[in-house]
Amino acid sequence: MIAARPLGSKGFLVRAYVWRAEGDHARAADYRKAMRLSPEDEGAYEALAQMYDGDGRDDEAAQVTRAELQARPDNAACWGRLGWWQYKAGNYAASVNSSHRAISLASIQGRSTDNALAFVSLNLGLCYAVQGDWPRAEQTYAQVLPHCRPEDVGAGMEDLAEALKRHPDRHAIQKALMLLNNRRPMITAQG
């Protein structure tokens, strides 16, 4: 049984995870309580944003990510997540800016080749491809692919395939999808 009054942000976070796992998203608001108690702890922000994403509530996920950025403005992964929500909202220019900010922060922090942040560069390439800017998309993918795990490339391909459904006339998306598909066996062999 979950305690009625957990102590501290970790207790609220654990309780929110349980409510979310049980599908009780209204009670998963304990994420917000955890965020208020420990604004520097990214776990609650990210989990709440993911829950909203799973519910198709992208605007609310972006709002949670912006709140996290107020508490943690130098968090490269958070800027990357904001770039993703902006991409999903169709705000490609803002997504490109947020992604560049994430990449710049990661570089300053010595994490520019951190494969945990590969999603940021894959998202950036996706934004360029959706906008029809193949040269920038190709350059972005060329820089990130050597640092990607096979599952990152697979996720990038899924995102491109979804984008192609919405924009079947964008040749840059087709080229990007072929590039990632051709690189995937090489990455799998390296990993």
Q: What band does 91 get if pLDDT is binned at 50, 70 and 90?
A: very high
Got the DSSP string for the chain? ---SS--HHHHHHHHHHHHHHTT-TTGGGHHHHHHHH-TT-HHHHHHHHHHHHHTT-HHHHHHHHHHHHHH-TT-HHHHHHHHHHHHHTT-HHHHHHHHHHHHHHHHHTT-TT-GGGHHHHHHHHHHHHHTT-HHHHHHHHHHHGGG--HHHHHHHHHHHHHHHHH-TT-HHHHHHHHHHHHHHHHHHHH-
Question: What does the pLDDT average to over 96-117?
Answer: 81
Nearest by Cα to 86 from 74, 72, 69: 69
Q: What band does 116 get if pLDDT is binned at 50, 70 and 90?
A: low
What local confidence, expressed as pLDDT, does residue 162 receive?
96
CB atoms within 10 A of CB 119: 23
Compute the CA torsion angle 70, 72, 73, 75 (nearest 10 deg).
Answer: -140
- Statement: residue 188 has pLDDT above 60: no
Q: What band does 1 get if pLDDT is binned at 50, 70 and 90?
A: very low
Inter-CA distances, 52 with 12, 47, 73, Å: 18, 9, 21
- pTM of the predicted structure, to 2 decimals: 0.80
For the chain, give the percent of residues with pLDDT over 90.
43
Scanning the structure block, which residue is given the tokens 């609220």? 12
Q: What band does 166 get if pLDDT is binned at 50, 70 and 90?
A: very high
For 9-73, which CATH superfamily applies? Tetratricopeptide repeat domain (1.25.40.10)
Question: What does the pLDDT average to over 28-33?
Answer: 72
Q: What band does 49 get if pLDDT is binned at 50, 70 and 90?
A: confident
User: pLDDT tens digits for 51-89?
Assistant: 888 888 888 888 988 988 988 899 898 999 999 999 999
Q: CA 111, CA 132: separation in Å to the nearest integer? A: 29
Q: What is the mean pLDDT of the chain?
A: 83
Nearest by Cα to 159 from 191, 118, 189: 118
Question: What does the pLDDT average to over 120-136?
Answer: 96
